[in-house]
Amino acid sequence: MVDLGLSGSLLVVVLGFVAVFCFFIGRSKSKTDGSATSTTTTTLYNGESRSKDGTEDVDIIIVGAGVAGAALAHTLGKEGRRVKVIERDLTEPDRIVGELLQPGGYLKLQELGLEDCVEKIDAQRVFGYALFKDGKSTRLSYPLEKFHSDVSGRSFHNGRFIQRMREKAAALPNVKLEQGTVTSLLEEKGIIRGVQYKTKSGEELKAYAPLTVVCDGCFSNLRRTLCDPKVEVPSCFVGLVLENCQLPHENHGHVILADPSPILFYPISSTEVRCLVDVPGQKVPSISNGEMAKYLKSVVAPQVPPEIKDAFIAAIDKGNIRTMPNRSMPAAPHPTPGALLMGDAFNMRHPLTGGGMTVALSDIVVLRDLLKPLRDLNDASTLCRYLESFYTLRKPVASTINTLAGALYKVFCASPDQARKEMREACFDYLSLGGVFSEGPVSLLSGLNPRPLSLVCHFFAVAIFGVGRLLLPFPSPKRIWIGARLISSASAIIFPIIKAEGVRQMFFPATVPAYYRKPS
């Protein structure tokens, strides 16, 4: 009996040692694999889960909750990531841009499950453009025949759209939106570890995450850390709202090729039409002393279609005139471990073509698909090398829309140069031909055909069309000279834009090493 008791005691001791050993192995394993578990299941996140230093346990911090930030938060939240969004002002924005979503952007919105965000905000469907020049007009329709009947452009109040997306994101249990101003990125040994921010009440706090995505808009104060920003301001938009007026072509955007630069009209609700008057340069006439009203009435009003001229004058007299600088900035990232740039903080183009939101939503789809197979975001250097492919994979859509926006703006602006005048006239007449001549450029404009090579072909087809008009029926030395300058002018417009976008990334993305990187 004694021997059996000793054996039983020894057995208990051995089993005890095994249990303790397994316990510590389990704790060690949970520490190394914990982040993987948290990203593959949707964890209830209400700000109560904190690490030892008192900071919230999140996978991704998003700086900014505009179109890009709110859409990204919802997308990553649906993927099971724990997301913290810090936005400077969570009240409804009131902007005069970001009001037109192209059909290509709407398709991306559907892909992200956010298409209901254009509902219940009095958004208007847009089916194409009407182009006006010197009393002539032509209508350009989106090539939507192959798509579901719900697919079209949408125009709306920017703030209403953003609030709907914020509500969708905040409804997810693992996404937290907080109002605060991010003052700096927290860096340690070349790796971004999180952000320092000031809360609405003025309290200085720090937040940490394996990945920080900066999308705090065109006025970003953080982009210099993550890219080489070369911001140009080619012009300013002067914004007005026309009330209870009927546009010449219902459910279409209207572009007037005016002097000195284009004028845009498009509906933003069932009773309101947005007017954006482009004023070249960085200075605009003063609103306060009446110079702006005088400029709009004397220079712009005579070039407005007669059907809406009275409403345009009434909007000027009402006095709610606003201005917004138009910024252009090629994407020039510094791949930085622990951080990524997106939205207008990363890449901007002239808003003439309304392509900004389409680029942002397309970028989110690319990033979502890249992050999907990654279980662990904590290896910053490996993640950084892997995410370099993002900058290449986004190029087909982004570079096509960016290049088209910059080139069209320069072509549509009036110029004393005869070659530029001919190019402008040729562009209008080329688009007026209909068929493939209008369908091709409009499919590029709408984001439905993200092919840079197609863009270049159409652009130079316009130039050759212009030269042909000059040389027929009988060429003269003067006309031949203007034609040569027209080709030279077209090259001078598009090639610098392509160079800034990156020739290799645009046309030969598969030759970029990062294109082939797989998650480890």
The percentage of residues in the chain with a pLDDT greater than 90, rounded to a whole number, is 85
Report the side by side order of strands in the sheet with 136-141.
136-141, 128-133, 253-256, 263-267, 272-280, 232-243, 322-328
pLDDT confidence of residue 7: 38
Q: Is the pLDDT of residue 25 over 80?
A: no
More confident: 53 or 135: 135
Q: Tokens for 26, please give them.
A: 């389990």
Cα dist. 8→2, 4, 15, 19 in Å?
10, 6, 10, 16
Q: Please state, in angstroms and as integers, the Cα–Cα distance from residue 359 to each residue in 217, 320, 450, following that order.
A: 13, 30, 10
Give the domains, in start order, of the chain with CATH numbers: 2-30+398-510 (no CATH), 54-121+156-230+329-393 (3.50.50.60), 233-327 (3.30.9.10)
Looking at residue 514, what is its pLDDT? 85
Per cent of the chain over pLDDT 70 is: 89
β partners of residue 387: none
For residue 114, report the phi and psi dihedrals to the nearest 5 degrees.
-115, 15
- Mean pLDDT for 442-469 is 96
pLDDT at 57: 85
Query: At 339, which helix (H) or strand (E)?
Result: strand 339-341
pLDDT band at 406 (very low <50, low <70, confident <90, very high): very high
Q: Which range has the top average pLDDT, 6-20, 35-49, 105-119? A: 105-119
Residue whose tokens read 């969570």: 90
Distance CA 126, CA 250 (A): 9
Residue (of 270, 271, 273) closest to 241 by Cα position: 273
CB contact set of 420 (below 8 Å; sequence gap of 6+)? 411, 489
**What integer pLDDT is reported at residue 454 of this predicted model?**
96
Quote the CA–CA distance of 276 and 352 in Å, as a whole number. Answer: 9
Q: Tell me the pLDDT band of 56, cut-offs 50, 70 and 90.
A: low
Q: Which range is least confidently modeled, 13-17, 79-83, 262-266?
A: 13-17
How far does CA 436 lie from the centroid of its chain? Answer: 28
Residue of 247, 251, 253, 256 whose CA lies nearest to 266: 253
Torsion sign over Cα 329, 493, 458, 409: positive
Could you tell me which residue, 43 or 233, shows the higher pLDDT? 233
Please check the confidence at residue 8 and state whether its pLDDT lies above 50: no
Alpha-carbon span 423 to 427, nearest angstrom: 6
Radius of gyration, CA atoms only, the chain: 27
SS3 label, residue 283: coil
Pairwise CA distance, residues 49 & 284, whole Å: 51
Q: Which residue has the tokens 């389990």?
A: 26
Determine the angle formed by the axes of helices 418-432 and 452-471, rounding to 10 degrees.
Answer: 110
Of residues 45 and 360, which shows the higher confidence score? 360
* pLDDT tens string 26-41: 443 333 343 332 322 2
> For residues 69 and 92, is the Cβ–Cβ distance under 8 A?
no
Average pLDDT over the chain, rounded to an integer: 89
| pLDDT tens for each residue of 194-235 | 999 999 999 999 999 999 999 999 999 999 999 999 999 999
From start to end of 220-304, where are the E strands?
Answer: 232-243, 253-256, 263-267, 272-280
Instruction: Please say if the pLDDT value at position 6 is more than 50.
Output: no
